[in-house]
Amino acid sequence: MRVLIVEDEPRLLIQLSDAIAAAGYAVDLADNGIHAHHLGQTEPYDAVVLDLGLPQMDGLSVLRQWRSAGRLMPVLILTARDGWHEKVAGIDAGADDYLTKPFHMEELLARLRGLIRRSGGHASAALTCGPLSLDTRVSRVTLEGQALVLTSHEYRVLAYLMHHQDQLVSRTALIEHNNAQDYARESNTVDVFNRRLRKKLPPGLITTVRGLGYRLAAA
């Protein structure tokens, strides 16, 4: 899963990046509205954390332009403590949730998980597929109740498939939604990680649709 963080305060940007990456997401960063607008228009994100007080282009303008262009990724806006009017304007502009500064990082992560989960049509923080379970609250995967040891990249690939289980997921989507913009996206990388995942999962849980992509589904 891939998240764009837009924040112009350097220290907070780093804190957000570290916390969201540690929670298992691929992360892209922007510290001004122009850069944020470009990334949101050209890259596929599963969610965006968007500060409203940005240089070059304010966050509300960025959000309005995304929505006008048909960009539907969930957006969590960050507002100042006394900025109730910004919350209203943000929701009206197309934001899906808001969080007031200062905030606890655990709350931000919970809200982010909720946005991503609901955008995929999932009601619970725990996703299951046959004997496989993923607890998004603690980034923990279990197989028949036993913890599954995964690398960070294996986890991201599996989490994306779990959020889109029973759906055909293209190789391109797996690459673009699980790697930051500056990652060297070699075309065979996703195949390598899927082979590794298959060795750790029951046969048939991940299937390949030749020439189209992959599907995660319980037998």
Whole-model pTM?
0.89
Distance CA 51, CA 70 (A): 20
| pLDDT of 65 | 97
Does residue 83 have a pLDDT over 80? no
Higher-pLDDT residue of 129 and 179 is 129
Does residue 190 have a pLDDT over 80? no
| Helix (H) / strand (E) containing 48 | strand 47-51
Distance CA 159, CA 140 (A): 10
Q: Highest mean pLDDT range out of 74-83, 153-162, 192-201?
A: 153-162
Does residue 167 have a pLDDT over 70? yes
In single-letter form, the type of residue at position 95 comes to A
Does residue 184 have a pLDDT over 70? no
Helix (H, G, I), strand (E, B) or coil at 186: coil
- When mean pLDDT is compared across 17-26, 63-72, 108-117, 187-196, the lowest value belongs to 187-196
Task: Evaluate the omega torsion of the peptide bond into residue 44 and state whether it is cis, within 30 degrees of 0.
Answer: no
| pLDDT of 36 | 98
| pLDDT of 81 | 67
Does residue 78 have a pLDDT over 80? yes
Which ranges in the chain belong to alpha helices (H)? 10-22, 33-42, 59-68, 84-93, 105-119, 152-163, 171-177, 189-200
Does residue 55 have a pLDDT over 90? yes
CB 97 within 8 A of CB 50: no
| pLDDT of 181 | 73
Exposure pattern of 165-198 as b/e (b: 16+ CB <10 Å)?
beeebebebbbbbbbbeeeeeeeebbeebbeebb
Band (153; pLDDT cuts 50, 70, 90): confident
For the stretch 199-209, pLDDT in tens is 999 999 999 88
Would you list the domain boundaries of the chain?
A: 2-119, 126-216
- Average of per-residue pLDDT values in the chain: 91
Same fold, 2-119 and 126-216: no
| pLDDT of 192 | 82
Architecture of the domain delimited by 2-119: 3-Layer(aba) Sandwich (3.40)
| pLDDT of 186 | 59
Does residue 8 have a pLDDT over 90? yes
Which of 193, 16, 22, 39 shows the shortest CA–CA distance to 105? 16
Architecture of the domain delimited by 126-216: Orthogonal Bundle (1.10)
Distance CA 123, CA 84 (A): 28
CB 203 within 8 A of CB 148: no
Band (128; pLDDT cuts 50, 70, 90): very high
